[in-house]
């Protein structure tokens, strides 16, 4: 038995069945080429008889890619198989994937048939497909709920008829990992001629166990896994390619099973599929989710900074992500903040770091996510404490029917000064109050407000250009309160004035 697992990607067939995720032929070719670059062994390109678009996609994908096997899906119907064969005529390596339901539910309630007739139809379909291609895969739909003894009869019959791959789908995502593993083992142990074909898994995620079931199947002898990028697919989705591949890679010493996948292309392929199908990847998705390599807990951050393997079993570079993400939140510790400051080029003394950290915690309680601009602003904030004129208090009253009024208290060289003023708006009122205290005739040449990031809780930054006696002074302020940011920017400029 080979220690290689063949990766059969059905993103363009089963994955594309998700409502609202349909791709045009050009987009499918782009995904197919990305899958080829990723290293998948088989690309299931479509269901040719289902629509002219699917037929054309199989044709064009067959022309566009070189070494992966191109597979076309059919029912166990001669017309389906004929159309699939026509669609595959340009494939360098073509495979027809035909099959029929084998569970009690499918035989009696979907197909209105009986077990013996199903086997006859399955054999007939495989033999018909063999007239066109040597590589024929048979799927026993709803194998997960099919009795093992009967499933073994079906598998033995189709292998004898010429099937080179036999797919054992858990179509409804019903089985438990131990059950699915036992099912594969039963077939390996009891089907005559089973080693003349590759046993394949095709697991759905209705109970959240698609990857676990797939791995159980592989451990028990399956050597092809049918998967999709990001685990997309009908209902709760299919087995994720990235989860299976990285499980085998990270546990290779135990399992000894390898794939042909270039794992460094996993992340970019994930993003391509997500963007083209307009289907965002959930943040906590294993391997490719935004948070898969993100650390926000102070204890975890400290551990990762000391040694990545303290909290990561996969090096993010192995899947095409540059580095782990140390996400600054209210739970982050000094080590994480110090690391981020060093990355941004700030070398702070222990005393200064402590001061910035206290400000950081205050900001982190207001914002869900702290960005690099926020961190730079915190350092700038602590430096402002050393300036002669500092904002000590600010209160603004404003509203649709109210005249904006602002009360300001400034600390000038340790002495407190208060003023209240009105204005055309809350920022104008606050600046007017400051002007009453500083008593300098300045002209506001430029006033620019910009959000550092998107969201109603984000820090806004204000840039000001003031003219004082013909000299230009520039000020900067940043705060979650834009009026405070404006006053800080004004004072930043005033503090730079020589007089």
Q: CATH number of the domain that 95 lies in?
A: 3.20.20.70
Q: How far apart are CA 403 and CA 424, in angstroms?
A: 8
Domain membership flag for residue 427 = yes
Asked whether residue 263 falls in the same domain as residue 341, the answer is no
Asked whether residue 199 falls in the same domain as residue 322, the answer is no
Choose one of 335, 358, 380: the last residue of a domain. 380
Ligand-binding annotation for 41, yes or no, is no
Domain membership flag for residue 289 = no
pLDDT in tens, 374-386: 776 677 655 555 5
Domain count, the chain: 3
Average pLDDT, the chain: 88
For residue 119, pLDDT over 80 is answered with yes
- The enclosing domain of 402 has a CATH number of 3.30.160.270
Give the model's pLDDT for residue 365.
Answer: 78
> Is the separation of the CB atoms in 450 and 476 below 8 Å?
no
For residue 327, pLDDT over 90 is answered with no
Asked whether residue 234 falls in the same domain as residue 116, the answer is yes
0.85 cut: is pTM over it? no
Ligand-binding annotation for 322, yes or no, is no
Ligand-binding annotation for 204, yes or no, is yes
Choose one of 380, 403, 430: the last residue of a domain. 380
pLDDT in tens, 61-80: 999 999 999 999 999 999 99
Reported confidence tier of residue 1, pLDDT bands at 50, 70, 90? very low
Give the model's pLDDT for residue 303.
Answer: 63
DSSP 328: B
Q: If you average pLDDT over residues 261-283, what whole number do you get?
A: 92
Domain membership flag for residue 288 = no
* CA–CA distances in Å: residue 64 to residues 69, 149, 448: 12, 42, 51
Q: If you average pLDDT over residues 338-360, what whole number do you get?
A: 77
Q: How far apart are CA 151 and CA 115, in angstroms?
A: 10
Q: How far apart are CA 238 and CA 206, in angstroms?
A: 9
Burial environment of residue 40 by CB neighbours within 10 A (0 to 12, 13 to 18, 19 or more): buried
Give the model's pLDDT for residue 440.
Answer: 82
Q: How far apart are CA 154 and CA 313, in angstroms?
A: 41
Task: Give me the residue label for tokens 């998107």.
Answer: 454
Asked whether residue 169 falls in the same domain as residue 313, the answer is no
User: Which phi and psi (to 5°) does residue 263 adopt?
Assistant: -65, -25
- The residue length of the chain stands at 499
Burial environment of residue 180 by CB neighbours within 10 A (0 to 12, 13 to 18, 19 or more): buried
Domain membership flag for residue 285 = no
Asked whether residue 158 falls in the same domain as residue 219, the answer is yes
Ligand-binding annotation for 441, yes or no, is no
Task: Find how far residue 222's CA is from the centre of its chain.
Answer: 28
Asked whether residue 358 falls in the same domain as residue 406, the answer is no
Q: If you average pLDDT over residues 134-142, what whole number do you get?
A: 98
Q: How far apart are CA 8 and CA 484, in angstroms?
A: 58
**What number of H helices and E strands is found in the chain?**
17, 16
Domain membership flag for residue 232 = yes
SS3 97: strand
CB-based contacts of 65-68 (< 8 A; 24+ apart in sequence): 65/32, 65/33, 65/35, 65/36, 66/36, 66/92, 67/36, 67/92, 67/93, 68/35, 68/36, 68/40, 68/41, 68/42, 68/43, 68/93
> Is the separation of the CB atoms in 441 and 422 below 8 Å?
no
For residue 284, pLDDT over 90 is answered with no
Give the list of residues 6+ apart from residue 470 with CB closer than 8 angstroms, or none: none
Domain membership flag for residue 414 = yes
Asked whether residue 366 falls in the same domain as residue 399, the answer is no
Give the model's pLDDT for residue 196.
Answer: 97
* Better pLDDT: 25 or 445: 25
Domain membership flag for residue 283 = no
The tokens for 158 are 């189709």
Q: If you average pLDDT over residues 90-112, what whole number do you get?
A: 96
Asked whether residue 225 falls in the same domain as residue 357, the answer is no
Asked whether residue 68 falls in the same domain as residue 145, the answer is yes
Domain membership flag for residue 214 = yes
Choose one of 317, 352, 380: the last residue of a domain. 380
Asked whether residue 208 falls in the same domain as residue 234, the answer is yes
For residue 307, pLDDT over 80 is answered with no
Angle between helices 78-87 and 52-64 (to 10 degrees): 40
Q: What share of the chain in percent tops pLDDT 70?
A: 86
Asked whether residue 352 falls in the same domain as residue 407, the answer is no
CA atoms within 13 A on the CB side of 473: 20
* CA–CA distances in Å: residue 445 to residues 119, 255, 272, 435: 85, 69, 46, 15
Reported confidence tier of residue 299, pLDDT bands at 50, 70, 90? low
User: Which phi and psi (to 5°) does residue 425 adopt?
Assistant: -160, 175
Q: How far apart are CA 364 and CA 358, in angstroms?
A: 10
Domain that holds residue 419: 389-496
Asked whether residue 256 falls in the same domain as residue 338, the answer is no
| Residues forming a β-bridge with 72 | 46, 96
For residue 199, pLDDT over 90 is answered with yes
* CA–CA distances in Å: residue 193 to residues 55, 83, 188: 34, 30, 9
* Better pLDDT: 145 or 308: 145
Count of beta carbons in the 10 Å neighbourhood of residue 79: 10
């Amino acid at each position: 038995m080979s220690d290689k697992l063949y990766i059969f990607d059905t993103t363009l067939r089963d994955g594309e069945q998700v409502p609202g995720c349909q791709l045009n032929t050009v987009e499918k070719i782009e995904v197919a080429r990305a899958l080829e670059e990723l290293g998948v062994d088989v690309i299931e390109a479509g269901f040719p008889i289902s629509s002219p678009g699917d037929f054309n996609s199989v044709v064009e994908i067959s022309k566009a890619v070189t070494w992966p096997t191109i597979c076309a899906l059919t029912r166990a119907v001669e017309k389906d198989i004929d159309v699939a064969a026509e669609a595959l005529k340009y494939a360098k390596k073509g495979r027809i994937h035909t099959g029929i339901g084998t569970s009690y539910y499918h035989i009696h309630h979907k197909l209105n048939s009986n077990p013996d007739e199903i086997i006859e139809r399955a054999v007939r379909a495989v033999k018909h497909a063999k007239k066109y291609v040597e590589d024929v895969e048979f799927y026993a739909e709803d194998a997960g709920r099919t009795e093992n003894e009967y499933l073994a009869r079906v598998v033995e019959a189709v292998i004898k008829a010429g099937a080179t791959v036999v797919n054992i789908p858990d179509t409804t995502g019903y089985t438990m990992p131990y059950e699915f593993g036992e099912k594969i083992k039963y077939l390996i142990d009891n089907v005559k001629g089973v080693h003349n074909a590759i046993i394949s898994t095709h697991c759905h995620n209705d109970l959240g166990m698609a990857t676990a079931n797939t791995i159980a199947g592989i451990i028990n002898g399956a050597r092809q896994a049918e998967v999709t990028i990001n685990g997309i697919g009908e209902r709760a989705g299919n087995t994720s390619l990235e989860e299976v591949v990285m499980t085998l890679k990270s546990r290779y010493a135990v399992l000894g099973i390898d794939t042909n996948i270039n794992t460094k292309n996993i992340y970019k392929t994930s993003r391509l599929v997500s963007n083209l199908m307009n289907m965002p990847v959930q943040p906590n998705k294993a391997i490719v989710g935004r948070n898969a390599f993100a650390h926000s807990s102070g204890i975890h951050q400290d551990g990762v900074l000391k040694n990545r393997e303290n909290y990561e079993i996969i090096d993010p570079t192995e899947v095409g992500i540059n580095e782990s993400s140390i996400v600054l939140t209210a739970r982050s510790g000094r080590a994480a903040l110090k690391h981020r400051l060093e990355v941004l080029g700030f070398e702070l003394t222990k005393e200064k770091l402590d001061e910035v950290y206290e400000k950081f915690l205050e900001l982190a309680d207001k914002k869900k996510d702290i960005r690099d601009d926020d961190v730079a602003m915190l350092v700038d904030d602590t430096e402002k404490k050393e300036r002669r004129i500092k904002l000590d208090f600010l209160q603004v009253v404003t509203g649709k029917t109210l005249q904006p009024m602002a009360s300001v208290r400034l600390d000038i060289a340790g002495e407190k000064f208060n003023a209240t003023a009105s204005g055309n708006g809350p920022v104008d009122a606050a600046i007017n109050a400051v002007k009453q205290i500083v008593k300098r005739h300045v002209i506001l040449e430029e006033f620019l407000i910009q959000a550092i990031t998107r969201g109603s809780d984000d820090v806004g930054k204000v840039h000001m250009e003031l003219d004082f006696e013909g000299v230009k002074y520039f000020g900067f302020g940043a705060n979650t309160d834009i009026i405070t940011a404006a006053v800080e920017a004004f004072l930043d400029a005033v503090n730079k004035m020589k007089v």
